[in-house]
């Protein structure tokens, strides 16, 4: 169960949405929204429906319907305005005391809304505000110790200023309603630069409480979401003191809120912590790898980055932190030169393990440019582990009802590297064939099998060129239920020459299709950043059609949520699952 889930029964799924995640994907090839991520995660969530929305930068409680009855009931309750909602916001501007109400009509103007008098054209909006964090007199408003986010590479923040915490109850449900009304009253939300708020690491607006009638029982239910969730524990989102707002505002690592909502630390201790410009640090990337941190950028650590990395080490109680300089000349560098270098704390052993969805993998900082696992494929490895690709798309129809020992299916993992996909498939009962051009990587893969109590002797490991072996296996009439294609952007071998993903992917698909059973699943992936997803999918589809095969089912997924996609940090990973006749 993802940490964001607050409540679930046959009719409702109630969650705490993190800031920085859309309610739903704004377009087919952007990052998944919370709805998309949940709906495709579990078979029982395949029929989730959206009944209300929160802005991308707004956090807090949301409800999805799971049944037709719930969808009808909740839609009616929201339409009739019988659902009661309470929000908390922070502002660094003066707020008048007591309870006050704002009424106006909202009119859209480009990417924002403007407030107009009630007699103007537009949708009527009504919000009730109450100052709950205290209202110190002007002469008592002394600067408070609020962490600045102004070092190089970070977004601005409210620095050394006082703030107020305000409860907002929207009596209507218009887009941006609270944000517009707060700004109109002279106290724009901290971080809401669209409406005149002071720059901050996030928009400090939180859906704290939601009250509704249960669709089946009619019982009134109230759901609450914590303001701050993480290793420091939970902060109540009920009536709060100013100190609560200070804890929210000075949350030491706002970028972690999204990760903590979606990743269970008990089963996964490897994920991306900072993803470049999407997390306010252009060109800098940090990953948690069990007891260690890995920093990556195109140059040596800058002072502000070093300071932030030290804070991350402290927050995670990490044993040490390494830094890797990203370079395009990695093939010319010796392993010792390309390997990450220790910059903080103690050195890692030559080999250490991490957990991902309950599966263990061996990593190493001493083997060159790559440490042994590509974290951006975590959700795809989980699909193999669960036997579930997406809503209405089982990996193998009917197999999830069978005991693992009775599942007789075979999977071909090309460009297997250290066999991460193979390990997850084997855990789910598959017999795997792992193919890679590096014998050293395949030996590493065998150790990953052993780490998870899997007998590598029951699986095949083939050392050699992918195109050469695809031809050999086709001649032997080998067939697989699943074929995985995850080639590097560029590679070169004596047998097949140069491979460039954006030029040769169709040729790779054509070579793999003779090995795929009718009705089997083909997984195609590329991290070629400047190759548009539409062109990638077209190349794959064209190759399938050219082989006189037909696509029965398709599920496209981008990189996982801990690799957030933004205009400043566009998507690079493209993956698609295809059932092919």
Pick from 54, 50, 57: nearest CA to 35: 50
Q: Give the Å distances, CA to CA, from 367 to 104, 340, 370, 463.
A: 63, 9, 7, 19
Structure tokens at 331: 């093939």
DSSP class of 389: E
Distance in angstroms (rounded) separating the CA atoms of residues 400 and 162: 55
Return the structure tokens found at 396. Answer: 């193998």
Nearest to 293 by CA among 322, 269, 325: 322
Assess whether 55 carries a catalytic annotation. Answer: yes
Please tell me whether residue 14 adopts helix, strand or coil conformation: strand
Classify residue 395 by burial, with Cβ atoms within 10 Å: 0-12, 13-18, 19+.
buried
CA 365 to chain CA centroid, Å, is 25
Q: Where are the beta strands (DSSP E) in 214-282?
A: 220-224, 270-275
Nearest one of 94, 207, 204 to 157, comparing CA atoms: 204
Residue at token pair 């669709």: 215
- Give whole-number Cα distances, 533 to 415, 432, 557, in Å: 21, 29, 10
User: Which entry of 9, 36, 55, 279 is annotated as an active-site residue?
Assistant: 55
| Cα–Cα distance, 452 to 360 (Å, whole number) | 6
What is the spatial distance between Cα 34 and Cα 257, in angstroms, rounded to a whole number?
Answer: 14
Q: E strands of 171-240, at which residues?
A: 205-213, 220-224
Here the tokens at position 540 are: 């794959």
* Rounded Cα–Cα distance for residues 91 and 181 (Å): 13
Which whole-number Å values give the CA distances from 199 to 25, 276, 278, in the listed order? 25, 18, 15
Give the tokens for residue 305.
């980055």
In contact, 280 and 267? CB cutoff 8 Å:
no
Residue 107 burial class via C-beta count within 10 angstroms: exposed 0-12, middle 13-18, buried 19 and up: middle
Q: How many CB atoms lie within 10 A of CB 483?
A: 27
Burial 505-528 (b: 16+ CB within 10 A, else e): bbebbbbbbbbbeeebbbbbbbbb
Please give the DSSP secondary-structure letter assigned to residue 225.
-
Distance of CA 266 to the CA centre of its chain: 17
* DSSP-derived 3-state class of residue 494: coil
DSSP annotation of 395: S
**Count of residues making up the chain:** 581
- Cα 90 from Cα 133, distance rounded (Å): 9
Catalytic residues: 55
């Amino acid at each position: 169960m993802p940490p964001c889930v607050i409540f679930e029964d046959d009719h409702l799924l109630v969650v705490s949405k993190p800031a920085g995640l859309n309610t739903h994907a704004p377009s087919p090839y952007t990052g998944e929204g919370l709805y998309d991520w949940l709906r495709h995660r579990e078979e029982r969530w395949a029929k989730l429906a959206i009944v209300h929305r929160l802005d991308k930068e707004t956090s807090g409680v949301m409800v999805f319907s799971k049944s037709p009855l719930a969808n009808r009931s909740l839609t009616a309750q929201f339409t009739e305005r019988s659902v009661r909602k309470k929000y908390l916001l922070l502002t660094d501007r003066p707020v008048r005391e007591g309870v006050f109400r704002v009424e106006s009509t909202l009119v859209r103007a480009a990417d924002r809304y403007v407030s107009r008098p009630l007699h103007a054209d537009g949708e009527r909006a009504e919000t009730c505000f109450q100052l709950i964090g205290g209202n110190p007199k002007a002469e008592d408003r002394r600067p408070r110790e609020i962490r600045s986010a102004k070092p190089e590479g970070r977004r601005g923040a409210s620095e050394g200023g006082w703030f107020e915490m305000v409860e907002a109850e929207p009596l209507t449900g218009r887009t941006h309603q609270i944000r517009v009304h707060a700004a109109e009253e002279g106290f724009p939300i901290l971080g809401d630069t669209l409406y005149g708020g002071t720059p901050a690491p996030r928009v400090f607006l939180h859906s704290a409480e939601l009250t509704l009638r249960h669709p089946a029982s009619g019982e009134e239910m109230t759901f609450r979401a914590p303001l701050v969730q993480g290793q420091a524990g939970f902060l109540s989102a009920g009536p709060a003191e100013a100190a609560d707002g200070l804890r929210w505002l000075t949350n030491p690592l706002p970028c972690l809120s999204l990760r903590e909502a979606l990743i269970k630390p008990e089963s996964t201790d490897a994920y991306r912590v900072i993803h470049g410009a999407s997390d306010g640090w252009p060109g800098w990337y940090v990953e948690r790898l069990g007891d260690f941190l890995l920093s990556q950028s195109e140059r040596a650590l800058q002072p502000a980055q070093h300071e932030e990395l030290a804070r991350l080490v402290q927050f995670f109680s990490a044993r040490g932190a390494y830094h890797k300089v990203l370079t395009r000349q990695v093939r010319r560098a010796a392993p010792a030169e390309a390997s990450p270098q220790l910059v903080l704390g103690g050195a890692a052993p030559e080999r250490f393990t991490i957990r991902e969805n309950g599966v263990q993998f061996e990593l190493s900082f001493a083997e060159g440019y790559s440490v042994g696992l590509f974290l951006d494929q975590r959700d795809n490895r989980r699909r193999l582990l669960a036997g579930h690709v997406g809503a209405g798309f089982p990996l193998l129809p009917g197999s999830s009802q069978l005991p693992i020992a009775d599942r007789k299916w075979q999977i071909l993992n090309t460009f297997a590297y250290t066999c991460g996909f193979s390990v997850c498939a084997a855990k789910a009962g598959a017999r795997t064939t792992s193919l890679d051009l590096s014998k050293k990587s395949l030996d590493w893969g065998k150790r990953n099998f052993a780490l998870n109590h899997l007998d590598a002797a029951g699986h095949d490991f083939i050392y050699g060129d992918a195109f050469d072996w695809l031809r050999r296996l086709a001649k032997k009439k080998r067939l697989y239920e699943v074929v995985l294609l995850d080639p590097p952007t560029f590679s070169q071998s004596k047998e097949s020459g140069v491979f460039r993903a954006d030029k040769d992917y169709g040729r790779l698909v054509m070579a793999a299709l003779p090995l795929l059973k009718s009705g089997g699943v083909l997984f195609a992936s590329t991290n070629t950043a400047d190759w548009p997803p539409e062109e990638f999918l077209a190349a794959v589809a064209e190759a399938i059609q050219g082989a006189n095969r037909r696509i029965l089912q398709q599920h496209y997924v981008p990189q996982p949520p801990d690799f957030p996609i933004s205009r400043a940090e566009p998507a690079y990973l493209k993956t698609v699952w295809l059932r092919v006749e």
